[in-house]
A and B are shown apart, each in its own frame.
Chain A
Amino acid sequence: MPDALPAQPATPAASGHFVEDRRQAALAVYEAAETPTWRRSGFWTTSLRKLDLDSLEPRRYDAVDSAIVNDHLGDEEHSALIVQRGASVVHTDVSDDRIIVMPLEQAVVEHPDLVEPYFARRLPHDEGKFPAGNAAFWTGGVFVHVPKDVQLDKPIQAVWLIDEPGTVQWAHTLVVVGEHARCKVREYFLAPDFEGQALHSGAFELYAAPGAQVDLAHYQDWGAGDVHDLSVRRVEIGRDARVKWVPIHLGGRLTKQTLDIVTAEPGSDMRHTGLYFTEGDEHLDLFTTDRHEAGHTTGDTVWKGALTGDSRASYEGLIHILPGAAETDTYLQTHQILLSPKAKGDAIPSLIVEVDNVKASHGGTVGELDQDQIFYMMTRGLPRSEAVRVLVEGYFEEVVQRLEDPGLERLVRRRIAEKLKRAEDQVREFIGERAEVL
């Protein structure tokens, strides 16, 4: 695959340039590394054996058919919108001149002073084959800079679009939010339903400077095609800054993601609320870490999932409190509902505490819908399938409301309702069977 990439000419020795040197070093790691298989908890395995990596290539475009973008983003006003299709940024629209939103490639050239201090600071190029591939091959990219004290009401939207099989998208987003700035950042990962394979290998990093307030959302819906998503996303929160992060997973044949949120300095606060809904033969493997590096930091993590069809979903959420992080106060909860007899999942909370004097708690549940709740709703006249829909939507509502974004909330509710509709017969049968064996 590397030889299919026209983007960056190889330089024989270290060029002294922060991006080129990283590409060089990463390429060596990528080429030396085997395609990984991830194993967890003894029985959970995420394997890429069905991914034909050599058949995929990055593809460049110069325009975008905006139908799928409009369908998801609606006509909501934004501070900026940037769209990358395949390997190319094809649309950039910035309506607020206080901020910078542009392709990362362009920012490296035009704003090296803003990019270099942050670029890849939390994204080592040698933590695996795909992070290395991403570091070596990324093209286009998204750079967001919200300067000190700037307060934005309208969101900054970035769209990653894959609309052809046979393609690979190496994605890199860098977001820098200055001191006491306030903004909303949304990334959308979209694909139409197509036949064939594609790969999105993403890297995301966000740095919230002291006092910043960031509402961050990732909305992933790769559709019904055979799209693989192998991504690492990291958020670093500075002194007295606050980041609310809502990752949403609503589609993708195989997803393997590492999502880390770091309270790096005293007084920083994280709210981390995720949602996933898998169907068909989808496979989702998420590992999140709430990493508390400094004392007097706070965390609040809730993840909820639902599974239908033959899908597989595994969520592991770790709270890691480092030696310097006394007086941390944090908790994590994870819940998962199985809506089909063939779906398999797990939801594992875990905790590593390396210092005394912290408050940390965690809990997890995996189960089926509560028959008492279904009975109760049916006694009010709701048919079983309607009762199930309302219960599942209600279950996710806690997460959806944390988006605090009416447009995105509507989109998520709509997609959940569609998925439940598709699974209606299967769910009714499953829930009905359970009611009878009781």
Chain B
Amino acid sequence: MTLEVQNLHVRIAEREILHGVNLKVRKGETHALMGPNGSGKSTLANTLMGNPNYEVTEGRILLNGEDLTEADPDERARAGLFMAFQYPATIPGVSVANFLRMAVNARREEAIKVKEFGQILGKNMELLNIDRAFTSRYLNEGFSGGEKKRAEILQLAMLAPDFAVLDETDSGLDIDALRIVSGGVNALRDENRGFLIITHYTRILGYVRPDFVHIMLDGRIVREGGPELADELEDKGYEFVREGVAAGA
């Protein structure tokens, strides 16, 4: 199983943001996509999920060989793709538990039994150190930054996708919340699931060690390597990468 991006060009409101991105994530692998603000990381995440604000002008998105470039977001989700949002939407009037049940049922033929759902939910909430009362609150309404990110990872855990994109999940988290969220992600890593962790900073990578690191600048992936690339970035910063690219060009 693979998630593959081939020569992806994307524009938003007539301006091209991604200029031909190639990326391949196999099941069982964890990739980190790093880059400074405005480099196009979130554009890639949103395009992977089919956000209608982003227009693909060239290239393809393939999930397990199936072309999803034109698919609606719900089809992508049901095909096994998930994104944890940087800024998740608030859904007033819909409790976390209700929302999770709807989402779980959306990818099943038959609705999940209440008891089974309760057990899985209980287990995953324990994993993420989430209080029972949390699930009766309206989704993201009045949530702190940390609560929103935990709710995203809780959805990831409940939906058990083949591939998960984490868009700046570490941003705005204090060290305790980062530990909890990272612990959740690590617990969900297994040989059948691929991760694409999008981040500006290297600190989450201290907790979730990636297999591969890609660095994005100005809408292109400019360097790729193993986890040591993140360490190099930690030491030298994005300017170093930028200078390297300029020198190489």
What residues of chain A have their CB less than 8 Å away from a CB belonging to chain B? 370-373, 375-384, 386-387, 390-391, 393-398, 435-436, 438
Contacts and interface: CB of A to CB of B under 8 A. Distances in A.
A373 B90 CA distance: 7
Contacts of A382: 74, 102-103, 106
A378 B89 contact: no
8 contacts: A370-B89, A375-B73, A376-B91, A379-B83, A380-B159, A383-B74, A393-B93, A435-B52
B92 A381 contact: no
B99 interface: yes
Interface string B62-97: 000000000011101110001101001111111000
B4 to A, nearest CB: 19
B102 A379 contact: no
Contacts of A397: 92-94
Interface residues of B, number: 29
B91 A373 contact: yes
Interface string B96-116: 000100110011000000000
B155 interface: yes
B76 to A, nearest CB: 7
B93 A379 contact: no
Contacts, number: 84
A381 B106 contact: yes
A381 B91 contact: no
B92 A394 contact: yes
Contacts of B72: 378, 383-384
B51 interface: yes
B238 interface: no
Contacts of A393: 93-94
A320 B94 CA distance: 34
Contacts of B82: 379
B119 interface: no
Contacts of B49: 375, 379
B103 A380 contact: yes
Nearest to B140: A376
A381 B218 CA distance: 31
A398 B72 CA distance: 30
A398 B159 contact: no
B62 to A, nearest CB: 18
A376 B85 contact: yes
Nearest 6 interchain pairs by C-beta: A394-B93, A397-B93, A381-B106, A378-B73, A376-B89, A381-B77
B138 interface: yes
Interface centre among B52, B99, B159 (most CB of A within 10 A): B52
Nearest to B105: A381
Contacts of A394: 91-94, 138
Given A380-B155, A382-B103, A373 B89 contact: yes
Contact of A378 (B53, B77, B159): B77
Given A382-B74, A384-B74, A386-B106, A377 B91 contact: yes
